[in-house]
Amino acid sequence: MSWCIKNLPAMQETGSIGTADGSSLVKLGNTTVICGIKAEFGAPPTDAPDKGYVVPNVDLSPLCSWRFRSGPPGEEAQVASQFIADVIENSQIIQKEDLCISSGKLAWVLYCDLICLNHDGNILDACTFALLAALKNVQLPEVTINEETALAEVNLKKKSYLNIRTHPVATSFAVFDDTLLIVDPTEEEEHLATGTLTVVMDEEGKLCCLHKPGGSGLTGAKLQDCMSRAVTRHKEVKKLMDEVFKSMKPK
């Protein structure tokens, strides 16, 4: 078995979109994903009146690759959206209770739009990273409910960052007949691979998601190797993210 260590996120920018409440741009080799988060008001769900919503949507447009056509989201986009929704749910990246303004009446709804600008493989890693960076960048204004008019009053001058509890980082592998495992595959490698594996890990070494959508079989030992590689990758990515945020903070 041989490893092929590839592209670290080459570039990461946050706050690039002025109109969005939080945004980020991530480049993993040639794969480029931009994430914009808009916060809007909504009624909390009836079965969980003290929770808000986080709604991810991955958009794979014809711009990013010849494989996609315009129109309703294709299968790959839907699978990616579901994957991001699962990561948000499983890793508890933000406590949904933090998004509630008034129990049963008003809550924040965060619409996370992940748009792929260039698809050169490993879209899941890039999307997870972009989402995490954008969430760290989101600033929500303070909202108070006026008792007399029962209307919400938004104070745009007083904004606060979201409380990000964990930092899930995704590591994808391309499997070739159980003999070769390539970390961070490009589109060509993904196309030729017999299987793929994505591991999402947070800083305590807990796994949020082990996504292996079919493909050739893997033994337990190989899986263990993937885990240790995922731990290393988490450290690398976290270091990069901390550097970017340190340079951004004085605002």
Partner 1 sequence: MAFLDFRGGSGRVQIVSKRRATCGRHSWSPRVGACVQRTHLVRKRALLGGSNKPRLHVGSGAMEGAMQTESKIRADSRTEPGPRGPGCSLRHFACEQNLLSRPDGSASFLQGDTSVLAGVYGPAEVKISKEIFNKATLEVILRPKTGLPGVAEKSRERLIRNTCEAVVLGALHPRTSITVVLQVVSDAGSLLACCLNAACMALVDAGVPMRALFCGVTCALDSDGTLMLDPTAKQEKEARAVLTFALDSVERKLLMSTTKGLYSDAELQQCLAAAQTASTHVFRFYRESLQRRYSKS
Residue closer to partner 1 by CB (options 109, 207) is 207
Q: Provide, rounded to whole angstroms, the least separation between the CB of residue 72 and partner 1.
A: 11
Residue closer to partner 1 by CB (options 79, 106) is 79
CA gap 35, 80 in Å, rounded: 14
Residue 12 one-letter amino acid:
Q
Q: Provide, rounded to whole angstroms, the least separation between the CB of residue 204 and partner 1.
A: 8
CA gap 194, 124 in Å, rounded: 18
Residue closer to partner 1 by CB (options 154, 223) is 223
Q: Provide, rounded to whole angstroms, the least separation between the CB of residue 224 and partner 1.
A: 7
User: By the 8 A CB rule, do 15 and 35 touch?
Assistant: no
229 three-class SS: helix
Residue closer to partner 1 by CB (options 150, 221) is 221
Classify the C-alpha dihedral 72-77-81-86 as positive or negative: positive
Q: By the criterion CB under 8 A, which residues form the site for partner 1?
A: 75, 78-79, 81-83, 86, 89-92, 178, 194-195, 202, 205-220, 223-224, 227
Residue closer to partner 1 by CB (options 78, 102) is 78
Q: Provide, rounded to whole angstroms, the least separation between the CB of residue 106 and partner 1.
A: 26
Residue 159 one-letter amino acid:
K
**How many residues make up the chain in this entry?**
251
CA gap 43, 48 in Å, rounded: 11
Q: Provide, rounded to whole angstroms, the least separation between the CB of residue 154 and partner 1.
A: 31
